[in-house]
């Protein structure tokens, strides 16, 4: 890879690494028993999508410390995408989401495979849980066997434990706050631990630690990564409700049906009059929510200017992150790449 940031070429490279790794793993599963074929297929499909942002942040954390491109660091960076795939499988299972990237989610696809069997739905959910668990284990395996020296890996290994702890904590926080009174601070804490850290901050720091980054650079990467990760999820929450399924690849009803603790909902609730809160309460969490409910919630949010407030929160965080970059001592290609990533990760308007 040249010193310039080439997103398409980088994505293709990560896709190749992840695809080959999971094909081999699928073959191992099939060798155990043919009945595992559907599980093996979903294992591969679960990690087959995405812009590979987490791998990119890990890679450029490495390059920011002055290290050159290598196949070994690409493999280490690609392991971040297996963490993401695991988180998505579990998240879709918890939320009972039917679609992801315009395709049935893992538990839904497995249920279709098991059609006609007793307890097909429960069995599919059990299998999906195990697919997610196996993906996180495979992420650790890919990282450990990436080909970088053991001393390099030892520098980053403690952060893996922190990544796993905080990712699980964030998912638990979302579950515990789901269905409760909307609160902006609680929503931001969910965003921080469930998404922001493992999407941007932790991959950057893992890349930096692998490269032997100095403490000042690691502090700067964290100061860049955390607000950017928060902006990423705030954009995702906006798209989740106001984006169209043909672009987002998932249902716009999910957040309303699940009554998720998003900042968008918290800002709406904070600005709402008692009658408007009563209307929201009537809709949030309904299993039979439909397009009429979605239209009304969107109208209410726009009236109360909640999307504008969330846009302002995104802009402030992106500005904070990019301002940090200007003061960091790193090679120019890494600075340019991280600046470009800050905008491409958060300016997803469709």
Cα 322 to Cα 335: distance, rounded to the nearest angstrom: 9
- Band (pLDDT 50/70/90 cuts) for residue 13 is very high
Please say whether the beta carbons of 200 and 60 come within 8 A: no
Given a cut of 70, is residue 2 above it in pLDDT?
no
Average pLDDT on 317-338 reads 95
Given a cut of 70, is residue 1 above it in pLDDT?
no
The pLDDT score that the predictor gives to residue 234 is: 96
Q: Is residue 173 part of a domain?
A: yes
Cα 158 to Cα 150: distance, rounded to the nearest angstrom: 13
**200: which residues sit within 8 A by CB, 6+ positions away?**
53, 54, 57, 224, 225, 226, 228, 229, 232, 345
What are the pLDDT digits (tens) for 240-298? 899 887 777 777 888 888 888 999 999 999 999 999 999 999 998 888 889 899 999 99
How many structural domains compose the chain? 1
The pLDDT score that the predictor gives to residue 176 is: 95
What are the pLDDT digits (tens) for 67-115? 999 999 999 999 999 999 999 999 999 988 888 888 999 999 999 999 9
Cα 270 to Cα 216: distance, rounded to the nearest angstrom: 39
Q: Is residue 46 part of a domain?
A: yes
- Band (pLDDT 50/70/90 cuts) for residue 350 is very low
Threshold 0.85, pTM exceeds: yes
- Please state the length of the chain: 350
Q: Is residue 1 part of a domain?
A: no
The pLDDT score that the predictor gives to residue 348 is: 64
Cα 177 to Cα 266: distance, rounded to the nearest angstrom: 12
Left, alpha or beta for 52 (phi > 0: left; psi -120 to 50: alpha)? Answer: left
Q: Is residue 269 part of a domain?
A: yes
Average pLDDT over the chain, rounded to an integer: 94
Cα 263 to Cα 237: distance, rounded to the nearest angstrom: 8
| Domain CATH code at residue 109 | 1.10.600.10
Q: Is residue 64 part of a domain?
A: yes
**Domain range for residue 159?**
7-346
Average pLDDT on 18-25 reads 97
Q: Is residue 219 part of a domain?
A: yes
Given a cut of 70, is residue 302 above it in pLDDT?
yes
Left, alpha or beta for 266 (phi > 0: left; psi -120 to 50: alpha)? Answer: alpha
The pLDDT score that the predictor gives to residue 245 is: 78
Q: Is residue 2 part of a domain?
A: no
Q: Is residue 158 part of a domain?
A: yes
Given a cut of 80, is residue 349 above it in pLDDT?
no
């Amino acid at each position: 890879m040249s010193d310039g940031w080439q997103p398409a070429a980088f994505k293709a490279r990560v896709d190749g690494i992840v695809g080959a790794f999971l094909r081999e793993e699928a073959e191992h599963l099939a060798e155990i028993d043919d009945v595992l074929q559907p599980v093996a297929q979903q294992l591969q499909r679960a990690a087959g999508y995405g812009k590979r942002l987490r791998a990119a942040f890990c890679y450029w954390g490495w390059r920011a410390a002055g290290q050159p491109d290598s196949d070994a660091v690409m493999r280490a960076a690609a392991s971040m995408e297996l963490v993401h795939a695991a988180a998505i499988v579990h998240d879709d299972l918890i939320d009972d989401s039917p679609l992801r990237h315009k395709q049935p989610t893992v538990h839904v696809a497995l249920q279709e495979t098991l059609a006609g069997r007793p307890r097909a739905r429960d069995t599919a959910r059990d299998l999906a849980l195990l697919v997610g668990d196996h993906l996180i284990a495979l992420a650790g395996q890919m990282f450990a066997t990436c080909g970088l020296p053991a001393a390099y890996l030892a520098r980053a290994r403690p952060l893996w434990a922190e990544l796993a702890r905080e990712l699980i904590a964030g998912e638990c926080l979302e579950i515990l706050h789901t269905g409760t009174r909307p609160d902006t601070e609680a929503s931001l804490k969910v965003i921080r631990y469930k998404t922001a850290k493992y999407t941007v901050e932790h991959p950057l720091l893992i890349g930096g630690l692998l490269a032997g980054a100095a403490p000042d650079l690691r502090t700067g990467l964290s100061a860049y990564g955390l607000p950017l990760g928060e902006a990423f999820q705030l954009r995702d929450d906006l798209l989740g409700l106001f984006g169209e399924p043909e672009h987002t690849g998932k249902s716009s009803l999910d957040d309303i049906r699940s009554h998720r603790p998003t900042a968008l909902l918290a800002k709406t609730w904070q600005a709402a009059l008692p009658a408007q809160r009563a209307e929201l309460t009537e809709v949030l969490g309904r299993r039979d929510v439909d397009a009429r409910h979605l239209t009304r919630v969107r109208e209410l949010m726009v009236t109360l200017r909640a999307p504008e407030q969330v846009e302002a929160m995104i802009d402030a965080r992106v500005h904070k992150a990019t301002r940090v970059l200007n003061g960091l001592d790193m090679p120019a290609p890494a600075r340019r790449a991280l600046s470009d990533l800050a905008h491409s990760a958060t300016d997803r308007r469709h």
